[in-house]
Amino acid sequence: MSLFQTAEVACPECGEKIAFNVNYSINADRRPDFREAILKGTFQRKTCSNCSHSFRMDPQLTYLDTRRGQFILVMPNSEVADWDALEESATAIHTEMFGPTAADQAQAIGKKLKVRVCFGWAALREKLLCQELGIDDVDLELAKLAILATLGDSPLTDRSELRLGAMEGDELVLGWISTTNEMALETLRVPKQLLGDIAADPAAWKDARQQLTAGPYVDYQRLLVPAGAAAEA
């Protein structure tokens, strides 16, 4: 079931009150149009009638797609420092829905789901895009670490992130995305073969892979934002 409630949100540009149907739970099996809207970048986006500024509600929801094996807890970018606690929340929600106390059919479904935590719309879109393109999300995050290691100067800040945007031919199209407004700051293209090279050399990436897969927050920022950072702030 996809759950939502109506809320009034102030336009970040002019302050005009805009009515949103805020989604807190998405079932992509029943609402494939929601999945398509997320991939297109239009989900929970509105244009202010007063100033014509287009903006989105920050995500705070669970995303379920049993056919594609995805269960994702999605939170605002502003909460990334709390990723370790939110990993526990994602695991707890999955266990409640599909764990030992659930019906047998639900338990069978739950065993096939890949549990993930991500922050912001761009990160959620990336997880859906990886599934769509047949890209292992762990290999993608390792590729980002490889890219970061080779860049002498990059737009990486606490307000930008590196996200997959598309695959064109034999190239991955990635972009530095603003975490405040999803605007592309810079684009770079890398050979898709980088993913194959990483998968073919497990020894070289063993330690980083273990760190990335220690919990459902599978993202290169896991290695950059220490666990407990929110509590220390």
pLDDT in tens, 174-212: 999 999 888 888 999 999 999 999 999 999 999 999 999
pLDDT at 48 over 60: yes
pLDDT at 16 over 80: yes
d(CA 32, CA 132): 13
Mean pLDDT calculated for residue range 114-140: 97
Mean pLDDT calculated for residue range 76-89: 95
Among candidate residues 122, 118, 123, 142, the one with its CA nearest the CA of residue 223 = 142
pLDDT at 232 over 70: no
- Helix (H) / strand (E) element for 55: namely strand 54-56
Mean pLDDT calculated for residue range 126-133: 98
Model confidence over 93-115: pLDDT tens digits? 999 999 999 999 999 999 999 99
Q: What is the predicted pLDDT for the residue at 30?
A: 95
pLDDT at 229 over 70: no
Q: What is the predicted pLDDT for the residue at 1?
A: 59
Q: What is the pTM of this model?
A: 0.93
Mean pLDDT calculated for residue range 3-22: 87
Contact assessment for residue 131 and residue 152, using Cβ atoms and an 8 Å cutoff: no
More confident residue, 155 or 52: 52
- 165 CB-contact burial (10 Å; exposed 0-12 / middle 13-18 / buried 19+): middle
Report the DSSP pairing between strands 61-65 and 17-27. parallel
Tokens representing 21 are 């149907």
